[in-house]
Structure 1
């Protein structure tokens, strides 16, 4: 994903309350969203005498937030698209690993071990110290104005409306579908700007919750899930998604018809004795897997490419979404040398 900086004057922006631990001279730093995605951001700079990351701050397309930062010193930023968008999370990232968590207001020290603090790691990108405006962009380079229309188009498509192009141009089809959306959701014909964007986000999230594959863990131990799908005529297998007992995870967030989706899972066992998901087909489909996080193209020559092979279970793909509930009975013992992430 692209990045761009500009010192040009911006419209009114949301001001993020200043961190009380800041010392010395400060300045205002604008972070602007010029993409077709609703983003959440986390920033990192010197806080309380040490480098610390803080988030999350939502930034709507075409909008900016203002963060109070030290005048000098290193500065970093990370951004990702919200879960309401289909097709997986997009990231605006770099190479500096820092800890984040899912709470809406977190602060983490750069010296923390993410695993020991029950947090995950994100790769932040460096921002030039003193840069007044950092714009998050896409290759299409919509700019502040076109990004609003592009976001409306993307959210309409995420919500199930027949948008074929995300170009940021307010054409007749986009206008017609926005009118249909307002009517379908009992919105006043004049509603626009942020209220319309909020309604679109809510509709996209509702649609997201009804598509793809959700795997719910009804077993007595944590499970790890991998999926395989047919994309543009080629097989692709990916993993892993973890779910504790009584939790669910969503490894696929796209409509299922045409994906020929398959799923594989392992259940954590004592002393590394993991159990594998039982197959249900006489001749189960086999795909590439790996011990740690993986993304493998193709289903042949797995061993030659450094992968292991596992038998996957087919997923019903007639409907846009499916839910799979896995219990202890769905897992069986495996031979020594099983998978552990």
Structure 2
């Protein structure tokens, strides 16, 4: 058939049209094999009136869990937890108007403590399980704690959760791979979201170490990294096991880059354990403080084991205090902490009734 005949021109034009369309696709469509798919939450049956899809996008290097609050039926209700992988979005159906709130935190397998994306509106959550909570309920009476949600502009179609590095969705996937490799014990020096030779080499090593396909990418690779990081996380850090007869609340203090930092609280019911530190203890100079809850408010405190115990800042509610001086001036209370053995990456502390004594002034409790 002569060159330039109608069928040939039609085929050429079709090829150019397809190529143009591919080039015009947004970045996420071209990288679909490497980025976790978006998760769609089924619409809440209590929603009334006009609705729209709200995208909550994770552009951080952390695996996040989120809780959202908006009008469900005639009441403001919070619901969680929903996982959002780095580089992916959670799609939630919400009322087109009305107040909307969001809270997000990194899951506890990441070393170095939980990071939060929060605001100033306190709403109840269940720390351990999925939940739905009424905005008017008393968190204590419901045996729940609270988180400070941040307000989202009504009708906002996309809410991005970001870090100061501002990776964007594509670089967030690489940054998460780097962070999870580090959490799993691999020697990642920088988390920058750039696929350099070191990151590529360690990913190849990780696949080989775990018997994975050399072509494994995207969400399957992310899931494998999460599983490996979780296994390592179970062997490092501090686990506090409550073998006493009542609920125990724990706080910890560590030295980070030469500066002391105290944080609390972690709850452990009788017979349960909690992990307030999920990073290697080596070099942290870790200390722990705990109170044993009493129904009459006369809480007991952890006995000290040193003649001159180290003193750190604490507060009655959830806190994160930098430094161990000027506590009172910053609105904190001072408490004596017990040192934790830090010769090994991980340690377990078992607390019994005999470890507690002396009511705290004012009955400090969470």
- Do both share a fold (TM > 0.5)? yes
CA contact (8 A) 2:265 2:319 kept: yes
CA contact (8 A) 2:64 2:84 kept: yes
Instruction: Verify: 1:254 aligned to 2:240, yes or no.
Output: no
Partner of 1:337: 361
Instruction: Verify: 1:21 aligned to 2:46, yes or no.
Output: yes
Higher mean displacement: 281-290 or 198-207: 281-290
* TM-score normalised over the length of structure 2: 0.83
SS of the residue aligned with 1:121?
A: strand
Partner of 1:164: 189
SS of the residue aligned with 1:311?
A: strand
CA contact (8 A) 2:299 2:359 kept: no
Distance 1:264 1:183, change over 3 A: same
Q: 1:60-79 alignment to 2 at 5 Å?
A: 60-79=85-104
Higher mean displacement: 89-98 or 17-26: 89-98
CA contact (8 A) 2:40 2:91 kept: yes
49, 52, 60: which is aligned to 2:77?
A: 52
Deviation at 1:34, TM superposition (A): 1.2
Partner of 2:228: 203
Distance 1:278 1:125, change over 3 A: closer
Instruction: Verify: 1:234 aligned to 2:259, yes or no.
Output: yes
SS of the residue aligned with 2:190?
A: coil
Deviation at 1:44, TM superposition (A): 1.7
Deviation at 1:9, TM superposition (A): 9.4
Deviation at 1:282, TM superposition (A): 4.4
Structure 2, unmatched stretches of 5+, are 1-25, 30-36
140, 145, 150: which is aligned to 1:115?
A: 140
Deviation at 1:308, TM superposition (A): 4.5
Higher mean displacement: 155-164 or 8-17: 8-17
Aligned length: 333
Higher mean displacement: 261-270 or 143-152: 261-270
Deviation at 1:234, TM superposition (A): 2.6
Q: 1:83-94 alignment to 2 at 5 Å?
A: 83-94=108-119
Structure-2 separation of matches of 1:94 and 1:290: 19
Deviation at 1:152, TM superposition (A): 0.3
Superimposed CA distance per residue, residues 270-293 of structure 1 (whole angstroms, 9 cap, x where no aligned partner): 644433323333443333444444
SS of the residue aligned with 2:276?
A: strand
Structure-2 separation of matches of 1:104 and 1:337: 33
174, 188, 191: which is aligned to 2:213?
A: 188
Distance 1:296 1:99, change over 3 A: closer
Partner of 1:313: 338
Superimposed CA distance per residue, residues 314-335 of structure 1 (whole angstroms, 9 cap, x where no aligned partner): 2110111100111122223x26
Instruction: Verify: 1:148 aligned to 2:173, yes or no.
Output: yes
Structure 1, unmatched stretches of 5+, are 1-7
Deviation at 1:151, TM superposition (A): 0.6
Instruction: Verify: 1:326 aligned to 2:344, yes or no.
Output: no
Distance 1:100 1:297, change over 3 A: closer
34, 55, 64: which is aligned to 2:59?
A: 34
Partner of 1:221: 246
CA contact (8 A) 2:288 2:338 kept: yes
SS of the residue aligned with 1:147?
A: helix
Whose Rg is larger?
2
* TM-score normalised over the length of structure 1: 0.89
Distance 1:282 1:123, change over 3 A: closer
Which structure dedicates a bigger proportion of its chain to helix?
Answer: 2
Higher mean displacement: 273-282 or 86-95: 273-282
Structure-2 separation of matches of 1:26 and 1:299: 50
Deviation at 1:244, TM superposition (A): 1.8
Structure-2 separation of matches of 1:263 and 1:103: 22
Partner of 2:126: 101
